[in-house]
């Protein structure tokens, strides 16, 4: 044993073991002590001035990732196009949740329900202010706020498409294209404004052709003029074409074919627009055109 201690190799091994133990202890203490920085370097993970970089030599934030980030099989943050966040992949419904309490899974969710179908669930949306409806648009720097709708035909410049805006206390709906504006209900479009400013009204879509206002219909209530409800006095103005069967009929009969109490205001013969001759209301003629009135309450 004494001879073993005296050998130089023995002491060399002792010194090497001591140095190795000291080095390991120092490294472990440095990693576990929060007051110490982990070792730096130029590898995949770097530390500089208290910042940690992954894939970047000099990080300038607490965590700086110099490349794409992925989690699971479909989630990713990518650096293409300068700066972008991309959620997607093969299948699934990517979404982002927002919550300001611990009592629910989410208060608002933005979710991709399918191809080209982005949905906001659980919240109203406000642009420029707090929402008071499902969608509220408020202009904080102008007395005008609006929405523009364009498509592949209309173009997408500032002079294209449909514009809906609130200008001070006025509401405006403007088609900036040379086309019609139509309003309707129940699948019908009975109110039409042409690009020339003409208005057509009817039970179906009516495009006015000759007048600034055209009203079309097949009954005795094409145009009704009346006072406010509860006050006596009203009149229905309408047109009709008499029957051509037999010897024809007078204007009054043509009017009363639609309303038994109607009277004839005038009659004419002929077809087409702005054509024909006045024949009065008493003349019996095939296919007489008549202007009628029906007075009542």
Residue 241 is predicted with a pLDDT of 85
SS3 163: strand
Please give the pLDDT value at position 271. 67
The helix or strand, by DSSP H or E, that contains position 6, with its residue range, turns out to be helix 2-6
Alpha carbon distance 52, 59 (integer Å):
6
Element holding 262 (H helix, E strand): none
Q: What average pLDDT score do residues 89-108 get?
A: 83
Cβ neighbourhood burial of 249 (10 Å; 0-12, 13-18, 19+)? buried
Distance between CA atoms of 205 and 208, rounded to whole angstroms? 10
Confidence (pTM): 0.68
Q: Express each pLDDT in 104-162 by its tens digit.
A: 889 999 998 888 889 999 999 999 999 999 999 999 889 999 999 999 999 999 999 99
Q: How far from chain centre, in Å, is Cα 235?
A: 43
Question: Helix or strand or coil: residue 88?
Answer: coil
């Amino acid at each position: 044993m004494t001879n073993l201690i005296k050998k130089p190799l023995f002491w060399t091994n002792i010194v090497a073991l001591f140095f190795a133990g000291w080095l390991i202890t120092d490294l472990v203490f440095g990693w576990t002590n929060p007051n110490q920085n982990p070792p730096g370097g130029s590898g995949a993970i770097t530390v500089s001035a208290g910042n940690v970089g992954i894939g970047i030599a000099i990080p300038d934030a607490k965590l700086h990732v110099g490349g794409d980030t992925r989690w699971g099989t479909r989630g990713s943050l990518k650096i293409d196009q300068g700066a972008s966040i991309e959620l997607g992949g093969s299948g699934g419904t990517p979404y982002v949740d927002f919550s300001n309490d611990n009592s629910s899974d989410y208060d608002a969710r933005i979710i991709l329900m399918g191809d080209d179908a982005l949905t906001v669930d659980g919240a109203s949306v406000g642009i420029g202010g707090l929402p008071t409806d499902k969608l509220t648009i408020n202009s904080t720097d102008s007395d005008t706020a609006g929405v523009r709708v364009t498509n592949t035909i209309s173009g997408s410049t500032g002079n294209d498409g449909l514009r809906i805006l609130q200008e001070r206390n006025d509401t405006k709906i403007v088609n900036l294209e040379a086309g019609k504006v139509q309003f309707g209900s129940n699948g019908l479009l009975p109110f039409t404004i042409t690009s020339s400013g003409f208005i057509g009204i009817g039970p179906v879509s009516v495009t006015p052709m000759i007048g600034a206002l055209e009203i079309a219909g097949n009954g005795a209530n094409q145009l009704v003029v009346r006072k406010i409800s509860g006050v006596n006095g009203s009149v229905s103005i309408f047109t009709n074409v008499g029957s051509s069967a037999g010897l024809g009929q007078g204007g009054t009969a043509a009017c009363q074919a639609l309303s038994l109490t109607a009277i004839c205001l005038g009659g004419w013969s002929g077809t087409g627009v702005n054509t024909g001759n006045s024949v009065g209301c008493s003349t019996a003629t095939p296919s007489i055109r008549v202007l009628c009135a029906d007075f009542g309450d």
